[in-house]
Amino acid sequence: MRKFNVAVVGATGAVGEEMLRVMEEVEFPVAKLVPLASARSAGGTVEYKDEEVKVKELTETIFEEEEIDIALFSAGGSVSAKFAPFAVEAGAVVIDNTSHFRMDPDVPLVVPEVNPEDITKWREKGIIANPNCSTIQMVQALKPIQETYGIQRIDVSTYQATSGAGKSAMDELVRQMQDFFAFKLDESEHRKFPHQIALNVIPQIDVFMENGFTKEEMKMVNETNKIMHDAIEVAATCVRVPTLRGHAESVTVTCKKDVDPEAAKKIISEGENVVVLDDPENGIYPMPTLCVEKNETFVGRIRGDIYRPNILHMFVVADNLRVGAATNAVRIAQKWIEMESI
């Protein structure tokens, strides 16, 4: 089997580190690993397969110099905007975890369990986009419902962990908790979030748009329709909560046909990389603590509506750094290899 020179852009970050872990776990066919970050981290090391691998500085020429075949980007939208074209120019396929290219009609937006066929469009720009973390876990859970009943509308509220905003955002929560126990939470700073996140929930992720929704919420709207190839009505409320890892979502889905909740439970459990945890009498349902470092999306609290037979409610949880980012990117790369059968 052919092996590939793989660059991880943002290898020292929260998602980049997980990309390395997932590649190890799936025994990704790596010929050479090139971890890239800013000049701040260049010269340091990251661990890969029990070896210390030197971090290099991201430059315009590095992809050509290192003969990169696959470049996984997770260092922020502006970094992707500037450097992804250099990776493509050097002959690499770019799998981009940022929002920068997601809605470009010439860039496929892929969740391998939902729309793997879109990967074939990668040649248009040499880039495949990884969706927003909250979108990925939701469409994975809903794909079997879409196939069986059709989906008219989705109403979703999210409970998003701090790691979605990077390592320094996790540090901000921990620091504020320490300040709380030192009786000085009042003096604690907040930089990554618009308000104190410790002992709080913040109904704002990213900036507000003119329509009253935030950019994060509109990502869920637009990306869901692009991935599911359908005109589904979506209303999202994205909320940051004081957890470190694992996004949760309360999802209400209005189907085109009437739904039998028991049948729906079975159909969802047959979804690829989806696990149903649904035994409320015994306190079994998905929670962030159960999903950390897991590569599956967990679904529970599946129930019908009290009023309408075509509405289904559920609770969906996944590790945002894995399922919502690193695992999805690595699965795209695996599918790309399989499809191109290089």
Say whether 21 sits in a helix, a strand or coil: helix
Q: How many CB atoms lie within 10 A of CB 122?
A: 22
Q: Which of 3, 40, 257, 266 binds ligand A2P (CB under 6 A)?
A: 40
Span of 26-34, 72-80, 106-114, 208-216 interacting with ligand A2P by CB under 6 A: 72-80
215 binds ligand A2P (CB under 6 A): no
Interface residue with ligand A2P among 21, 32, 167, 215 (CB under 6 A) is 167
Q: Tell me how far, at minimum, the Cβ of 305 lies from ligand A2P, in Å.
A: 38
Q: Does 79 bind ligand A2P (CB under 6 A)?
A: yes
Determine the Cα–Cα distance for residues 42 and 32; give it in Å rounded to an integer. Answer: 17
The verdict on whether 247 is a catalytic residue reads yes
- DSSP string across 96-147: E-SSTTTT-TTS-B--TTT-GGGGGGGGGTSEEE---HHHHHHHHHHHHHHH
What residue type is 264 in one-letter code?
A
- Binding segment (CB under 6 A) for ligand A2P, from list 131-139, 163-171, 221-229, 327-335: 163-171
Q: Which tokens belong to 230?
A: 């359908």
Pairing of strands 70-73, 4-9: parallel
Per annotation, catalytic residue among 133, 238, 255, 291? 133
Structure tokens at 45: 């090391």
Nearer to ligand A2P, 251 or 329 (CB): 329
Applying CB under 6 A, does 10 fall inside the site for ligand A2P?
Answer: yes
Q: Is 13 in the site for ligand A2P (CB under 6 A)?
A: yes
311 binds ligand A2P (CB under 6 A): no
Residue 340 has which token pair? 């191109």
Residue holding tokens 């590569």? 295
Q: Is 54 in the site for ligand A2P (CB under 6 A)?
A: no
SS3 state of residue 19: helix
291 catalytic, yes or no?
no
Which listed range, 75-83, 84-92, 152-160, 189-197, lies at the site for ligand A2P (CB under 6 A)?
75-83
- Exposure of 10 by Cβ count < 10 A (0-12 exposed, 13-18 middle, 19+ buried)? buried
Catalytic residue among 100, 238, 247, 255: 247
Please identify, using beta-carbon distances, which residue of 114 and 326 lies nearer to ligand A2P.
326
Chain residue at closest Cβ approach to ligand A2P:
13
Label the pairing between strands 45-48 and 51-54: antiparallel
Under rule CB under 6 A, how many of the chain's residues touch ligand A2P?
17
Q: Which residues contact 225 (CB under 8 A, 6 or more apart)?
A: 231, 232, 234
**Binding window for ligand A2P (CB under 6 A); candidates: 63-71, 74-82, 193-201, 223-231:** 74-82
276 vs 326, beta carbon nearer ligand A2P: 326
Alpha helices in 133-272, H assignment, sequence order: 133-149, 167-181, 215-228, 261-269
**By the criterion CB under 6 A, which residues form the site for ligand A2P?**
10-14, 16, 37-38, 40-41, 58, 75-76, 79, 166-168
Catalytic residues: 133, 247
